[in-house]
Structure 1
Amino acid sequence: MSRRAATLTTASVIVLVLAIIGSVMRVPYVALTPGPTSNTLGTNDKGQPLIRIEGRQTYPGGGHLNFTTVTYRGGPSGRIDLLTALRGWLADDTAIVPEETIFPQDETPKQVDEENTRQMENSQQNAEAAALHELGIPISTRVIVEGVQKGRPADGILKPDDEITAVDGAKVTNVAQVTGTMAKHKIGDTVTVTYTRAGKPHTATLKTVATPGGDRAAVGIVIADQYKFPFKIDISVGDIGGPSAGLMFSLAIIDKLTPGPLTQGRFIAGTGTITANGEVGPIGGIQQKMIAARRAGATVFLTPKDNCADAAASRPDGLRLIRADTLHGTLQAINALTSGKGPIPSCTR
């Protein structure tokens, strides 16, 4: 055998061995790729309106207001192999990130999924509240127990989904009122909590203990505001989690509750968390979401201001970026876009 043939044979064997090793060696990374997009003005995978409103007049819309998603491969229960990670690092539409970015070390995959589901539910609530606030439709709130800390005074007494109606006899309708009353107590004081469970009122007297920081009195419950709307808004997105569709939900709700199509037939996609006050927040996976939007046919992408620099640096051809700071400002930008009148905030590096 010639020296050249021997060298080629040896190299081929080495490549083959490395390929075999790479295909079986699991690495603690996750591959993020563009996920499906869904038109909030359209239907879900069951053929039902993605957003359904009952008890209030609605108006037909048109065009697209798509929320975008990111698909991931990997995780503690099914790690990707080294070759997949290497291919991802070389691909324009894939991001390879450390496993703990998606799966914190102190949480199980099940807990991560449950947290994503909770974030989606909260996102929908905030989106509905922000939309109605923007339209001047009054809403009210109530205080719901989200969790009870094990071993604390409320453990075994209060349960998730209980509604807190009064503290020390004073009616409460939001979290700020509860925390304001608790702030008046010293560690070791007793506090009377009135709550409803399955429509029935209950009262519990609890002795306060120190918070984990040791500086405030607490009884060991996690509470949150839950909004009470004057009519029914149902958002059905299937098995999708996380908070990043909030902005697009709010825009679609406003479109359905106001005459005339907001998009004027344009294909607009976007992303961004939303607060009940209409503030738009940043999200992860902006590059993959832009690619998903452009592949679906979007020509405009609504981008949270804190994601603008990264978005501008990797914007797909044919996709115009509009900076989204608030729900109100985003509505103004869309109206300026469709009318051709007024400034349109854009993303820059």
Structure 2
Amino acid sequence: MSSPYHEGYDAPAERPPHTGIGKRSGGVLGLVVGAVLVGAGLNLVTVDKVVYLPGPVYDTLQEIDGKPVVSVPDDLETYPTGGSLYFTTVRLDGGPGQKVTAWEWLRASVDPSRSVYPRAQVFPPDVTAEQVREQNSELMAHSQHDAAVVGLRAAGVEVPEDIVVAQVIVDAPADGVLHVDDQILQVEGEPVTDTESVRSRIQAVEPGESVSILVLRDEEEVEIDVPTKRDAETGRTIVGVYLAPRYEMPYEVEIQAGAVGGPSAGLMFSLAVYDTLTEGALTGGAAVAGTGTISGQGLVGPISGIPQKMYASAEAGVDLFLAPAANCDEVVEATPRGLTVVPVSTFDEALEHVEALAEAGGDATSLDLPTCEQVLEGDGATETGG
């Protein structure tokens, strides 16, 4: 019986019956089946990790869930805004009550927009999802309050402030001498207006000597000689209390962020309040995103998840991203291609850069902006103090 193949060529091996699959195709199919099985196996294995992913961005000049992000009372004059002032978010996989699979971990490990951390580095061992939500809600409320103070003051509205003792450290010099809720009126005979003025006056006292502090306690003024000591870590003169500002808000500014929690939107909230209360669109129609905590004194503090927030902003096509200067090490390592990032340490710095962007018609590349590289070299934006 003659062969259908030319002489000099080996006839192929017999094909498996009923399949029509040759050796090469069978090998490929085997690899595919193996990969599917491995992937399925990795989805069954969990790891003790938390994965940070880019979350949505929200425009503080618009609405969330049908409600304006920023609302001010009718007796405050407001002005039309334009452009966008986005606050950014992070989505977490692997929080309390959640599991991260080995497949999700491997995928995140090779994706520059995602970050992986040991669970113990992010959450205490016994914390519940409800406790995390409550803490984030409380941090968000403080952030919104401070942002309203900063935005109002920047717009020229006076916001009176009292300085109170928030906590007395056990066994510190002030333990049993100063009380929680004592309002600090004077230090060494000089009136004080904010927490920094209290600290600076205490610093003028030699460690070990007493400092004279006038407080308002139970509606009575009491002058107290408070012992001091030298802090072992910083060398500063301390009495051993935590101070906090207590604001007398002249207007009720409402800031709502839907289900988003945490303090990191404070900077963008404060810019939105200012934009709402001042004439002309702050951004000049450009799109600005950013992140950072805000104190009542207008200081911008560091946050977590900045790589994810930068990637989300790049995806949104923003013209400028405002980053806390204290996060510059992460910014330098993780800035997405094409995103212009400017480090800021104060509200005033952020305001200056956004106004410059508006004057440049939204073209951030035409501006001589400070960079995180300069900050890390000690030649850029000032460090956050407090």
Do Structure 1 and Structure 2 share a fold, with TM-score over 0.5?
A: yes
Give the alignment partner of residue 293 of structure 1, picking from 301, 313, 319: 313
Within a 5 Å distance, the mapping from 1:1-349 to structure 2 comes to 16=37, 19-20=40-41, 22-45=42-65, 47-54=66-73, 55-75=75-95, 77-91=97-111, 93-103=113-123, 116-117=136-137, 119-149=139-169, 154=175, 158-159=179-180, 162=181, 164-166=183-185, 172-179=192-199, 184=205, 194-195=215-216, 213=232, 221-274=241-294, 278=298, 280=300, 282-295=302-315, 297-304=316-323, 306=328, 308-310=331-333, 312=335, 314-315=336-337, 320-325=339-344, 326-338=349-361, 343-345=366-368
Q: 1:232 aligns to what SS in structure 2?
A: coil
Q: 1:56 aligns to what SS in structure 2?
A: coil
Per-residue CA deviation, residues 49-98 of structure 1 (Å, 9 max, x unaligned), is: 21122342111223321111111111465342322211222445432223
Alpha-carbon distance between aligned partners in 1 of 2:32 and 2:68, rounded to the nearest angstrom: 58
Alpha-carbon distance between aligned partners in 2 of 1:211 and 1:341, rounded to the nearest angstrom: 46
Tell me the C-alpha RMSD between the 2 structures: 4.7
- Calculate percent identity across the aligned residue pairs: 29
**Equivalent pair of 1:103/1:109 in contact (CA under 8 Å):** no
Alpha-carbon distance between aligned partners in 1 of 2:119 and 2:141, rounded to the nearest angstrom: 25
Shift of 1:230: 4.1
Q: 1:344 to 1:133 in 2, by over 3 A?
A: farther
Paired residue type of 1:327: A
Alpha-carbon distance between aligned partners in 1 of 2:230 and 2:59, rounded to the nearest angstrom: 44
Alpha-carbon distance between aligned partners in 1 of 2:236 and 2:362, rounded to the nearest angstrom: 54
Paired residue type of 1:331: V
Q: 1:109 to 1:252 in 2, by over 3 A?
A: same
Paired residue type of 2:83: G
Aligned residues between the structures: 335
**Equivalent pair of 1:67/1:248 in contact (CA under 8 Å):** yes
Paired residue type of 1:328: L
Q: 1:81 to 1:216 in 2, by over 3 A?
A: same
Alpha-carbon distance between aligned partners in 1 of 2:277 and 2:149, rounded to the nearest angstrom: 13
Alpha-carbon distance between aligned partners in 2 of 1:252 and 1:335, rounded to the nearest angstrom: 15
Paired residue type of 1:194: V
Alpha-carbon distance between aligned partners in 1 of 2:187 and 2:318, rounded to the nearest angstrom: 55
Q: 1:337 to 1:190 in 2, by over 3 A?
A: closer
The structure whose Rg is larger is 2
Shift of 1:176: 3.5
Alpha-carbon distance between aligned partners in 2 of 1:231 and 1:120, rounded to the nearest angstrom: 19
Alpha-carbon distance between aligned partners in 2 of 1:110 and 1:192, rounded to the nearest angstrom: 41
**Equivalent pair of 1:269/1:302 in contact (CA under 8 Å):** yes
Shift of 1:256: 0.8
Structure 1's unaligned 5+ residue stretches are: none
Q: 1:234 to 1:156 in 2, by over 3 A?
A: farther
Paired residue type of 2:257: V
Alpha-carbon distance between aligned partners in 2 of 1:16 and 1:124, rounded to the nearest angstrom: 49
**Equivalent pair of 2:114/2:308 in contact (CA under 8 Å):** yes
Relative to the length of structure 1, the TM-score reads 0.71
Q: 1:253 aligns to what SS in structure 2?
A: helix
Alpha-carbon distance between aligned partners in 2 of 1:324 and 1:261, rounded to the nearest angstrom: 22
Paired residue type of 1:232: E
Relative to the length of structure 2, the TM-score reads 0.65
Alpha-carbon distance between aligned partners in 2 of 1:241 and 1:155, rounded to the nearest angstrom: 36
Shift of 1:41: 1.0
Q: 1:18 to 1:258 in 2, by over 3 A?
A: closer
**Equivalent pair of 1:286/1:310 in contact (CA under 8 Å):** no
Alpha-carbon distance between aligned partners in 2 of 1:336 and 1:135, rounded to the nearest angstrom: 19
Structure 2's unaligned 5+ residue stretches are: 1-15, 17-22, 374-386
Per-residue CA deviation, residues 271-318 of structure 1 (Å, 9 max, x unaligned), is: 2344556555554333322333355x4432323262653454x236xx
